[in-house]
Amino acid sequence: MVEMRNVHKRFGDLEVLKGINLTVERGKIISIIGPSGSGKSTLLRSVNHLEVIDDGDILLDGAQVNRPDLQGLAFERHINHIRQNMGMVFQHFNLFPHLSTLDNVTLAPRKLKGMASKQANQLGMELLDRVGLADKADVFPSRLSGGQKQRVAIARALAMQPKVMLFDEATSALDPELVEEVNRVMRGLAEEHMTMLIVTHEMAFARDVSDWAMFMDGGVVVEEGPPSMLFSTPQQERTQHFLSKHLDTQR
């Protein structure tokens, strides 16, 4: 579903992605862990071209995301089409404050896919029910908790019926007691075999829900493998040191 081939990304003289190779099979959940500044969020943002890579190729379901051969309006049309197949949930919720919960969820299907309001509202209510917020359909974001806002953001991303979901530290801005309600929704998506690429600082969550886990540091993938192996018997010293500090506190 997602493939990265020898991807490089630089910010000035700083190379933050140093030849990343990644394959995400359909229906699989990949977690990316690592210290701050390791390049994991840049990797995720590169998948839907929020960060423009310098070298390499990124593909979604066989279609190339970065297209050096396209310029201007032609590329804008291309990337807008690609992004309709990707749902992304950020650290901060970015909900429209002047729209109700339901309208936040249905805006993209109506505007980008031309979905009729009745159909969009039906879909929106189904998704709000799925994240446990059907009773908040008419509520504005200012009346929601942080965990509720993030669940609305997940419903909004799902409303485009994407092929893959990208989560960039989706719980890091939340109070600890609100983290679990968001993780519960993500676990539900995992049980439904939604293809997901998750950047997270929740080690126990990554261990429990992922099919594959990657540890990044310094712009490279230091170690990767099944979570049962990576989290219990990491082979690389850098991975061992990182997990010894972060996993024990989350058991």
What is the residue-level pLDDT of the chain in tens, covering all 251 positions?
999 999 999 999 999 999 999 999 999 999 999 999 999 999 999 999 999 999 999 999 999 999 989 999 999 999 999 999 999 998 888 899 999 999 999 999 999 889 999 999 999 999 999 999 999 999 999 999 999 999 999 999 999 999 999 999 988 878 877 888 888 899 999 989 999 999 999 898 999 999 999 999 999 999 999 999 999 999 999 999 999 988 754 44
Give Cβ neighbours of residue 81 (< 8 Å, ≥ 6 apart). none
57 belongs to a structural domain = no
pTM value is 0.91
Residue 251: name the closest of 233, 236, 231 by CA: 231
SS3 88: strand
Whose structure tokens read 């500044």?
37
Domain tally, the chain = 1
Query: Element (H or E) spanning 63, and its range?
Result: strand 63-64
pLDDT tens for 116-152 read 999 999 999 999 999 999 999 999 999 999 999 999 9
Q: Is 63 domain-assigned?
A: no
Residue 112 is assigned to a structural domain of this protein: yes
The verdict on residue 115 lying in a domain is yes
> How far apart (Å, rounded) are the C-alpha atoms in residues 48 and 87?
9
Distance in angstroms (rounded) separating the CA atoms of residues 180 and 71: 43
Q: How far apart are CA 197 and CA 179, in angstroms?
A: 18
Distance, CA of 90 to CA of 154 (rounded, Å): 9
Distance CA 122, CA 94 (A): 23
Give the C-alpha separation, 52 to 241, whole Å.
Answer: 32
Nearest Cα to 183, choosing from 159, 160, 163, 167?
167
Domain that holds residue 151: 97-161
Q: Which two tokens stand for residue 164?
A: 């893959």
Q: For residue 159, give the DSSP letter.
A: T
Residue 251 confidence (pLDDT): 45
CB distance 230 to 182 below 8 Å: no
Q: How far apart are CA 32 and CA 155, in angstroms?
A: 22
Q: Is residue 176 part of a domain?
A: no
Residues 213, 19 contacting (CB under 8 angstroms): no
25: enclosing H helix or E strand: none
Q: Which amino acid is at 155?
A: A
